[in-house]
Chains A and B, each alone.
Chain A
Amino acid sequence: MSLLDYFRTSKTSSASVAKERLQILVAHERSSRNQPSYLPQLQKELLEVIRKYVNVEQDAISVNFEQDETQETLELNIVLPDYHPKNT
C-alpha cells in the first residue's frame, strides 16, 4: 500500500458507509417481505383494543413476524406510557 493509499483509507470511505446502510435496510425489507399480509390489519385492530384500556400512542405497538425452519413466531410489543402517580 502506498503512502497515498494510506491517507485515502484512513477516513471511513463512502463505500463502506453505503454498504452498512444497505445491509441494515435490505435485512429489514427482507423480513417484512415474508410477513403474512394480514399483519397491518392485525396491528391496527390490536391497537384499537388496547386503546380501550390504556392510552398508548399510535406507534406504541409493533407486531413482528419471524420465520425459521421449525417455527413461526408472532411477537407483539406494546410500549406502555410512563406511569406518573398523581399527587394526592
Chain B
Amino acid sequence: MARIIVVTSGKGGVGKTTTSAAIAMGLAKKGHKTAVIDFDVGLRNLDLIMGCERRVVYDIVNVINGEASLNQALIRDKHCEQLYILPASQTRDKDALNQEGVGKILEDLKKDFKYVVCDSPAGIEKGAHLAMYFADDAFVVTNPEVSSVRDSDRMLGLLSSKSRRAEQNQEPIKEYLLLTRYSPERVKLGDMLSVDDVQDILSLHLLGVIPESKSVLTASNSGTPVILDEKSDAGQAYADVVARYLGEDRPHRFIDDKKGFFGKLFGSK
C-alpha cells in the first residue's frame, strides 16, 4: 500500500525542501518507486534542489486544470529512475490548488508509486493545508530554536484535527520529528536547545537529527540532493533517517560534539 508523506513545519526556511529532496531520493535509491511533489505554488524551488529546473514543462496546476496529464507533468530524476518530481507552478493565483484536484492526483499516484513525498510550503494557509490533508505520515521538520518548536507544535495540532484522517476518524497521521540544522557545539555551550529539550516539549518519535552542514549548500548549488553526498555528515544523517523510516534500527549520530582538537582546528565538512 502506497504511503503519502508530508514534510511540514509551519515555520519557513527550516529545511523542508532540503529534507523532501533527500528522503525522496533515499527512498527511491532503496528501490521504492517514489514521487516528490512541490506544493509551494508561486515559490517553486524543489526543481532547483533536485536539479531538474530546465526540464520543467508542466506543473501540478496544469494537471489540476486538465491542461496536461499527470504522466506528462512528472519529471523522471536523472540520478535514479525510481524517482519522479511533480513541480509546483509559478502562478500567483492563491486558489490554483484545490482539495479535489490534489486528492485526485494523489489517488492516481498511489496506484503506481510506493511513496509520495509532499514538500509543504511554510505557513498554515491553503498550500500547507493541502500538502498535509491527505497524508499518512508527517515528517515535522524543526530547528532547535524557539519559534520553530512552537510552530511545529502548532502544526501537530493541525495534523491531528484538520487532516482527512482526523476528519474521517481514521487512525491518526503518524508523526515523526526531524531536527535539522543542529549544532552539537552550540548545544554544548548552552546556546542551543538540545535534542532532549525539544523532545521534552514535542514528545514525538525522533526520526533523526540533521547537523548544520556546509554540504547542504554545496548540494543545492549543484542541484543534487545532499543524500547523494555519501561522505557528508548531512548526507549520512538523511540516509539514517530513510533507513529508520523503513524500519531499520540505527543509532543516532551527529548529536554529540565529538570533534577533537584536529576537528576543531580544521572545521567540519
Which chain A residues have a beta carbon within 8 Å of chain B's beta carbons? Answer: 5, 8-9, 13-16, 18-19, 21-23, 25-26, 29-30, 33
Decide: A30 and B157 in contact? CB cutoff 8 A. yes
**Cβ contacts under 8 Å, A29 to chain B:** 150, 153-154, 157
Task: Evaluate contact between B197 and A19: CB separation under 8 angstroms.
Answer: yes
A15 is contacted by which of B150, B153, B192, B201 (Cβ under 8 Å)?
B192
- The one of A9, A22, A26 that contacts B190, using a Cβ cutoff of 8 Å: A9
- By DSSP majority rule, is chain B's interface helix, strand, loop, or mixed? helix
A15 and B191: CB pair below 8 A? yes
Chain B, residue nearest A27 (CB): B201
* A22 lies within 8 A of B189 (CB): no
Chain B, residues 152-183, CB within 8 Å of chain A (1/0): the string is: 01100100010000000000000000000000
A62 CB, min distance to chain B CBs, angstroms: 22
Given the interface contacts A18-B146, A22-B146, A22-B150, does A33 sit within 8 Å of B157 by beta carbon?
Answer: yes
Q: How close is B249's CB to chain A, nearest CB, in angstroms?
A: 28
18 contacts across the A-B interface (CB closer than 8 A): A5-B188, A8-B189, A8-B190, A14-B190, A14-B191, A15-B190, A15-B194, A18-B145, A18-B146, A18-B197, A19-B193, A19-B200, A19-B201, A22-B149, A25-B150, A26-B149, A30-B157, A33-B161
**Interface majority SS (helix, strand, loop, mixed), chain A:** helix
Which B residues are CB-close (under 8 A) to A13? 189-191
| B153 & A30 in contact (Cβ 8 Å cutoff) | yes
Residues of A within 8 A of B154 (CB): 29
> Assuming the A-B contacts A18-B146, A29-B153, are A23 and B201 also in contact, with contact meaning beta carbons closer than 8 angstroms in the complex?
yes
**B187 CB within 8 Å of chain A:** yes
CA–CA, A25 to B161, complex, Å?
A: 20
Residues of A with C-beta under 8 A to B192: 15
- Determine which residue in B161, B187, B194, B197 has the highest number of CB atoms from chain A within 10 A of its CB, and name it: B197
Chain B residues with Cβ below 8 Å from A21 are: 146
| CB-contact partner of A26 in B187, B188, B193, B201, under 8 A | B201
- Bound complex: CA of A16 vs CA of B187, how far in Å? 10
Q: Which of A5, A8, A23, A25 is close to B200, meaning CB atoms less than 8 Å apart?
A: A23
* Given contact pairs A29-B153, A29-B154, A30-B153, A22 touches B201 in the complex (Cβ within 8 A): yes
Return the contact of A18 from the options B188, B189, B193 (Cβ within 8 A).
B193
Residues of chain A within 8 A of B157, CB atoms compared? 29-30, 33
Contact with A along B133-159 (1 / 0, CB 8 A): 000000000000110011001100100
A15 and B187 contacting across the interface, CB-CB below 8 Å: yes
Question: In the complex, what residues of A have CB within 8 A of residue B145's CB?
Answer: 18
Q: Which residue of A lies closest to B149 (CB)?
A: A22
On whether the beta carbons of A26 and B191 are closer than 8 Å, the reply is no
Q: Kindly list chain B residues whose C-beta atoms are within 8 Å of the C-beta of A14.
A: 190-191
